Amino acid sequence: MFHDFMARVIAIANQKGGVGKTTTSVNLAACLGVLGQKVLLVDIDPQGNSTSGIGIDKMNNDKTIYNVLINEEPIVNNTVKTDYENLYLLPSNIQLAGAEIELVPAISREYKLKNAIEDIKGDYDFIIIDCPPSLGLLTLNALTAADTVLVPIQCEYYALEGLGQLMNTISLVQKHLNKSLEVEGVLLTMFDARTNLSIQVVDEVKKYFKNKVYSTIIPRNVRLSEAPSHGKPIINYDSKSRGSEVYMDLAKEVLDIE
């Protein structure tokens, strides 16, 4: 089938900040690359944390997703090869903050990324989109372009707060913008086995999302928080760390090769 040669497009989304979207985007993308998959990481967050997190200078870079969304330049002209195996990047920078407003009057404003991705869907195995912490037009572009959405949930007290709003947005997108969008899975992040709270959150999230919850749970791991300041995915920063092991497990789970 023709579709077997098309990339699977996964949006990593949760409107809360600090839940592990960027950490998951960078490390899932890098681990899939190590497993032989050709991956394009799309940074659609104006903060550009995925961009700097894999060692691309977001201050001095002409290639950006802004050019794609606002100037309708092709993605190929704005793609950067990273230092890492099979891993390519569509970078972001702070200029993208303006796009949220500049897109408002645009025709088919929710479809800009989807239309741009069509051209390159045959060139990759996976396209991973790191979303900003909001449910605005940038996230809507990601959800409209995606085949599936992966939702990271931090194991903390307010874990489930705001998830209703996110699920509601996902069903609105399914209804109006992208009928075939599916929930790829729910990923528990920053788990701390020493606290009852973490264990309670795992139980609650499993009750709510059932078999949609990945069996891989991401623990708190200092190496994971250090890696971005070195511009490296965890697998390249410290391949022996727990963080590296669990993101490799997640990549295998996504590939269904446990």
User: Tokens 């330049």 label which residue?
Assistant: 73
Nearer to ligand ADP, 33 or 228 (CB): 228
Cα 34 from Cα 37, distance rounded (Å):
7
- Kindly identify the residues of this chain, within the stretch 156-215, that bind ligand ADP according to CB under 6 A: 189-190
Closest C-alpha among 109, 88, 84, 114 to residue 99: 109
Token digits for 222? 């200092």
Interaction between residue 154 and Mg ion (CB under 5 A): no
> Measuring CA to CA, how many Å separate 26 from each of 111, 172, 186, 209?
24, 27, 17, 24
Q: Under rule CB under 6 A, how many of the chain's residues touch ligand ADP?
A: 17
The residue within the footprint of Mg ion, chosen from 49, 86, 178, 198 (CB under 5 A), is 49
Contacts of 135 (CB under 8 A, 6+ apart): 15, 165, 166, 169
Strands across the sheet containing 80-81: 80-81, 87-90, 39-43, 126-130, 8-12, 148-154, 182-189
Q: Under rule CB under 5 A, how many of the chain's residues touch Mg ion?
A: 3
Nearer to ligand ADP, 38 or 242 (CB): 242
Nearer to ligand ADP, 102 or 249 (CB): 249
CB of 54 to Mg ion, least distance (A): 13
CB of 23 to Mg ion, least distance (A): 8
Interaction between residue 236 and Mg ion (CB under 5 A): no
User: Tokens 């993101």 label which residue?
Assistant: 247
Q: Which stretch binds ligand ADP (CB under 6 A): 2-10, 114-122, 200-208, 220-228?
A: 220-228
Query: Which one of Mg ion, ligand ADP, none is in contact with 190 (Cβ closer than 5 to 8 A by kind)?
Result: ligand ADP
The residue within the footprint of ligand ADP, chosen from 22, 64, 139, 216 (CB under 6 A), is 22
How many helical (H) and strand (E) elements, i.e. helices and strands, does the chain have?
Answer: 11, 7
Interaction between residue 129 and ligand ADP (CB under 6 A): no
Interaction between residue 58 and ligand ADP (CB under 6 A): no
Q: What type of residue sits at position 180?
A: S
CB of 173 to ligand ADP, least distance (A): 19
The separation between CA 109 and the C-alpha centre of its own chain, rounded to angstroms, equals: 20
CB of 133 to ligand ADP, least distance (A): 6
The residue within the footprint of ligand ADP, chosen from 216, 221, 236, 244 (CB under 6 A), is 221
User: What helix, strand, coil percent values describe the chain, rounded to 5?
Assistant: 45, 15, 40
Instruction: Give the binding site for Mg ion (CB under 5 A).
Output: 21-22, 49
Binding site for ligand ADP (CB under 6 A): 17-23, 49, 133, 189-190, 218, 220-221, 224-225, 228
